[in-house]
Amino acid sequence: MAAMSKPNGVGGPGPQPASPHATIQHLRIARLPIQFWIPAVVALAVGVGALPWVIGDAQDFFYQAHVLALVHVFTLGWITAAMMGVMYRYVPALTKGRLRFPALAGVQLALFLAGVVGMVTGFAIGHWAATAIAAAVMTASVVLFAMNMLACLVPALGRGVAERGLALAVVFLLAAAVLGLVLALDKSFGLLGGSVLTNLASHAHLAALGWVTMTICAVSYRMLPAFLLPQTVLPPAAGWQLGTLAVAVVALSVSLLGGGGTGVWAGAIALNLLAYAWIVASMVRSRQMPIDWTVRHALAGACWLLAALALGATLAAVGGDGEWGNRVAGAYGAAGLLGWVSNLIVGMSYRLVPGLVLGARAVAGLPPLSPLDISCPRPRPLVFAAWNGGLALLAAGLLAGGLAPARVGASVLAAGGLTYAALTAWTLSFALRRAARRSARNPLRVLGDEAPG
């Protein structure tokens, strides 16, 4: 690919490559994050829309076909797709490099979408052979993703904590995908010994802690200082936090597969994430920028992280195979996936998605727009209140064993999630269509192109 200049602000890359082939390839790469974010938003809408109807199954027992299908709608369709989309844009910029294998990225996207649809369908109908085939497709997709990401990250490991954390996260994603495939094959061939629930927990924690949480920690150490302009510098403890988290996640996952010794490592992870929360809180306290909806979602996510840590410690003590353990497991999953992780993604997307869209428009030669033109910030308070208020009622209902409050909470959360999905889809649509510049004609607009966060 011909040499390209660095991006000019949020509007994306500057001068285009001279070669027509290079221009087409550059456009494909610029649109790749959008192509991951569109199915991510669709999956979020499907997930929150189905949540009120599946919550009864989750209360009966979390290890059921429809519950597993819904969990993977959130973990793969929403969370992983959104994170991959951001990383395709963010990792080359962070490492000051380019995608080493751009032709593989489109193949990886196709395999990823096929894997998500196949796995969710296989879980929903309880067909383990179909689920195993889809898991193999997903594993192939993750291998291609890792090839592109690690080719950028490995040469940059000595530059900072974000690079090291993201490289570790990609390795954990690979491990989680492989173990997930083995778990699916185990249903037909009996490959694993031990308890089904502890084996499942090992896979879940490789994905949730190793892949998702490691990525969030690494990215937030780089992005929150840019959003907040804290007066304190990032402490050396940030690097130690990522390194010790990786060690503890490996030890916890191995001990879960081995059937014992999990308490120590679960406690170590809890202490590690408390250290992360303290580092983030210190940046917020010393901020020079006002708190916007991006930061509010980050703070709400940190609160849900503390709740998830408490619920996780309780689950480790009581186990997940009894009635009380099942209640705690449901609330733990909701607090972690929807409270901690999804709050961070929603909040960050208010800043990141407009930049992805404007960058793709610039490469495509579409008329220039500003973030204000493609964002709709007014409903963000409603999204925040419905998401977190509904989730609080949902988690409380799961813990108390009350189906009615849990379903009401899921419905309120769904209202917030569907509103967010519709607004984000509207923003994403500007990557593919021409549009007049509305803000330039707005007589009330005086300064600045930045949409309120």
Residue 444 has pLDDT above 50, yes or no: no
Which amino acid is present at 98?
R
Residue 451 has pLDDT above 70, yes or no: no
Identify the pLDDT of residue 321. Answer: 74
DSSP 248-304: HHHHHHHHHHHTS-HHHHHHHHHHHHHHHHHHHHHHHHT-SSPP-HHHHHHHHHHHH
Query: Of 257, 134, 111, whose CA–CA distance to 185 is shortest?
Result: 134
Residue 361 has pLDDT above 80, yes or no: yes
Domains by residue range for the chain, with CATH:
18-433 (1.20.210.10)
Identify the pLDDT of residue 137. Answer: 98
Identify the pLDDT of residue 311. Answer: 92
Residue that is written with structure tokens 């974010």 in the block = 37
**How many other CB atoms are there within 10 angstroms of residue 387's CB atom?**
26
Let me know: does 313 contact 266? Beta carbons within 8 Å.
yes
Label residue 258 by pLDDT band (50, 70, 90).
confident
Residue 105 has pLDDT above 90, yes or no: yes
* Mean pLDDT computed over 355-368: 92
Label residue 439 by pLDDT band (50, 70, 90).
low
Rounded (10°) angle between helices 128-153 and 102-125 = 150
Q: Which pTM value belongs to this model?
A: 0.90
Beta pairing partners, 7: 13
Identify the pLDDT of residue 55. Answer: 92
Token pair in block for residue 81: 């797709």
Return d(Cα 364, Cα 343) in angstroms, integer: 31
Identify the pLDDT of residue 5. Answer: 37
For 150-160, the pLDDT digits (tens) are 999 999 998 88
Query: Of 323, 409, 404, 328, whose CA–CA distance to 56 is shortest?
Result: 404
Beta pairing partners, 13: 7
Residue 284 has pLDDT above 90, yes or no: no
For 80-95, the pLDDT digits (tens) are 999 999 999 999 999 9
Identify the pLDDT of residue 433. Answer: 85
Residue 450 has pLDDT above 50, yes or no: no
Q: What is the mean pLDDT of the chain?
A: 88
Percentage of the residues of the chain whose pLDDT score is greater than 70: 90
Residue 445 has pLDDT above 60, yes or no: no
More confident residue, 201 or 78: 78
Residue 280 has pLDDT above 80, yes or no: yes
Identify the pLDDT of residue 18. Answer: 45
- CA-to-CA dists, residue 205 to 110, 175, 241, 248, angstroms: 26, 11, 17, 11
Return d(Cα 112, Cα 137) in angstroms, integer: 7
Residue 308 has pLDDT above 90, yes or no: yes
Identify the pLDDT of residue 22. Answer: 59
Query: What is the chain's percent helix, strand, coil content, to nearest 5?
Result: 80, 0, 20
Identify the pLDDT of residue 208. Answer: 94
